Structure 1
Amino acid sequence: MKAASSKPSPWWTPGVHADRRPFLLGRNAIQAALRGFFARRDFIEVDTSTLQISPGNEAHLHAFHTEAVTTDGQLHPFFLHTSPEFACKKLLAAGERRIACFAHVYRNRERGPLHHPEFTMLEWYRAGEGYESLMVDCAHILALAAETMGAKALTYRGRDVDPSAVSERLSVAEAFDRYAGIDLLASVFADGATDRDHLASELKHAGIRVANDDGWADLFSRVLVEKIEPHLGFGRPTILDEYPVCEAALARPSARDPRVAERFELYACGVELANAFGELTNAKEQRRRFQVEMAEKARIYGETYPLDEDFLDALSLMPEASGIALGFDRLVMLATGAARIDQVLWAPVAEFGS
């Protein structure tokens, strides 16, 4: 007699689909509500291409690689984009002022309850407006998602957040002090340089493990993941603001303190939902940051991604702006009460690997 398989039924079997369908219909309703939200605020919805010369230049961001073949058989490398960010900023350079984009994006080495190889990123940009305007947007969007589902709270793993509550705004330095007893900015200099040994000493004093080959960024990430993120976004949303300038990515330095950047992340129910920048428009500095990130990627993973020279050229024409990327599927999860990201995807990517 053939043994029964312990493998779960595929998403397309009628019983599984019936269980998932309420979440999927909720997804559609939330997306429609958000499209209305942006239309009422004079945003133009844009649709960017998936194939890009560069998928992004962050050390720990992993892309899917492919090739274009010309009619005479020549091969040209391309990547599936990890974000529509570069394309959206080129549109700002072209003259658009308010744009929003629901983009399917692709990230390798990511799969789990909150991660999927292909997912939907909602990005929006405001030319000529500060990044605090994005904080206001986030408050409206959380409330709208819950309202659309008739939910009084956003929920994940038995923990709730009141979407109508005023968000806690907490700087990264304040979070390090509150949850780990670490003076983070004592290891960051005004020019963006960092003191690895000073931060390592702070971690050891706080009882947090330190490896000999840990760099400053490794130590920063360990504290953030282990000591800070588990406390964020419970009861009310949390805006984790003012990342050290060495962790600025594509954000500009703060006019208030050159050691930090105009970057915030939004958390609800302990889940990171969004990453926002007051956008950097200095091409020389952006190139330098990309090169630093690719050197780190080469050190850790033995590979690098090309720079998008068109994007760097476009920065000279790009106006002052603020922009944000929100994990749309995660928002749907919290608003519908789904436990896993694959429950809110109409057709999840097939399982692969062991």
Structure 2
Amino acid sequence: MRAASPWWTPDVHADRRGFLLARNRIQAALRGFFATREFIEVDTATLQISPGNEAHLHAFATYAIHYDGSQAPLYLHTSPEFACKKLLSAGEARIACFAHVYRNRERGPLHHPEFTMLEWYRRGETYDVLMNDAAKVLALAAETAGAKHLTYRGATADPFAEPERITVAESFLRFAGIDLFASIAGNGDTDRHRLAEELVGKGMRVADDDSWADLFSRVIVEKVEPNLGQGRPTILCEYPVAEAALARPTPRDGRVAERFELYACGVELANAFGELTDADEQRRRFSAEMAEKQRVYGEAYPLDEDFLEALRIMPEASGIALGFDRLVMLATGAGRIEQVMWAPVPDMRLSQNGRGV
């Protein structure tokens, strides 16, 4: 079997070039979208003291070497979120950011170790406003690409249709027949045994060492996500507080948080929060996440103390992170994320075997 050619060979580049030019047009259109709404585009540093503090996000680590030869650990950020929130604390009201971000242990048709995140934040505005933003961004991307539908692996979604809104608890009942709230106490505490019983009753796999979060994720991935964004986009909202480390609880129900994810064609495109601004609660959540990371992966990342201090003066705000490359994929019909990246990161597993990327 002939090895695949690298992305930089003229014939492969010619096949990809239409996607890449569409990417540029979409990015320019979105910059205009935010500029006309009085957002300021910001540029955040890639190197950070902490790359983020979610248990299942994995970073690339490096060192700063000082003039005297001493070293200090640094990380490539997994999101510009901490820096953007510091800018909200500094006084900015509406900011947007196209940032290259880095996530280890991730590679596949929809995943890449380095990709582009589009994030935007609104001070003093609720996360419901972001739902409207997200719908407009989908429509603008499709319009700019000349697409009537978003597409991925045979699935389609109408980007000009109003997104369906469904809560996580409703999605568990509808797509898995599971009562999620049966395993969540009024204060947000979770009951692993009760959720495991629900999964076993539906014939789903449960391992002895699965945590409540593991079981929750299994239902989301296997039962819920494939049904989202089919025909039109879906906004999946009101995540359990235990699954929303950076979001504030909803005013009406302490079991769930102001978090939503945007889906089209079964693909997660964006993740949004009504931002948590309680620094002590944020520290508690981060510490719990890092304890879980240490348990599962044998490593943990430091907390960004500057970020926690900034939260003490940060005003109420909402923010959203959208996978820009995925948006381009769905607007152009690309089948793999590398097709919409100008210069993808080589896959060393293939390079070591003498194959192209």
Length-normalised TM-score, structure 1: 0.98
Please state whether the residue corresponding to 2:74 is helix, strand or coil: strand
1:15 aligns with 2:11: yes
2:86 maps to what in 1?
Answer: 90
User: What amino acid is the match of 1:307?
Assistant: L
The match for 2:275 is 279
1:352 deviates by 1.2
Cα displacement string for residues 129-165 of structure 1 (whole angstroms, at most 9, x for unaligned residues): 0000000001100000010011111111111100011
- The yes-or-no answer on 1:297 pairing with 2:293 is yes
Choose which of 150, 153, 157 in structure 2 pairs with 1:154. 150
Q: Are residues 1:333 and 2:342 paired?
A: no
Shift of 1:349: 0.4
User: After superposition, what is the alpha-carbon deviation per residue over 1:203-227, rounded to whole angstroms, capped at 9, x for unaligned?
Assistant: 1111111111111111101111001
Measure how far apart 1:290 and its partner are.
0.4
Q: Say which is worse superposed, 267-276 or 200-209, in terms of deviation.
A: 200-209
Superposition map of 1:35-50 within 5 A = 35-50=31-46
**CA distance in structure 1 between the aligned counterparts of 2:204 and 2:348, rounded to whole angstroms:** 35
Paired residue type of 2:278: N
CA distance in 2, matches of 1:264, 1:299: 27
| Stretches of structure 1 lacking an aligned partner (at least 5 in a row) | none
Q: 2:206 aligns with which of 193, 210, 215?
A: 210
Divergent runs of 4+, >6 A:
none
The answer for the alignment partner of 1:167 in structure 2 is: 163
Q: Does 1:102 align with 2:98?
A: yes
Indicate which of 61, 66, 74 corresponds to 2:57.
61
TM (norm. structure 2) is 0.97
1:226 matched to 2:222? The reply is yes
Distance 2:97 2:186 in 1: 35
Shift of 1:249: 1.7
Number of the residue aligned with 1:75:
71
For residue 67 of structure 1, give the secondary structure of its aligned residue in structure 2.
Answer: strand
1:127 partner amino acid: R
SS state at 1:267 partner: strand
The superposition leaves residues 157-216 of structure 1 with CA deviations (integer Å, 9 ceiling, x where unpaired) of 111100011111000000000011111011111222111111111111111111111111
What amino acid is the match of 1:350?
P
2:305 is aligned to 309
Q: Deviations over 1:37-60 (max 9, x none)?
A: 000000000000000000000000
Tell me which amino acid in the other structure corresponds to 1:51.
Answer: L
> Which residue is equivalent to 2:353?
none
Give 5+ residue unaligned stretches, structure 2: 351-357
Mapped partners of 1:100, 1:236: distance in 2 = 26
Map 1:180-219 onto structure 2 (within 5 A): 180-219=176-215
Q: CA deviation at 1:6?
A: 2.6
C-alpha distance in structure 1 between counterparts of 2:245 and 2:333, whole Å: 32
- The equivalent of 1:121 in structure 2 is 117
- In 1, the alpha carbon distance for the partners of 2:159 and 2:231 equals 9
Three-state SS of the structure 2 residue aligned to 1:109 is coil
- Partner-residue secondary structure (3-state), 1:353: helix
Q: Provide the secondary structure at the position in 2 that maps to 1:324.
A: strand
The residue type equivalent to 1:244 in the other structure is P
- SS for the counterpart of 1:120 is strand
Shift of 1:353: 2.5
Distance (Å, rounded) in 2 between the aligned partners of 1:61 and 1:46: 24
Q: Distance in 2 between matches of 1:200 and 1:225?
A: 16
Percent identity over the alignment is 75
Instruction: Please provide the CA RMSD for this pair.
Output: 0.7
| One-letter identity of the residue aligned with 2:41 | E
Paired residues in the alignment total: 350
Measure the CA separation in 2 of the matches of 1:163 and 1:353.
37
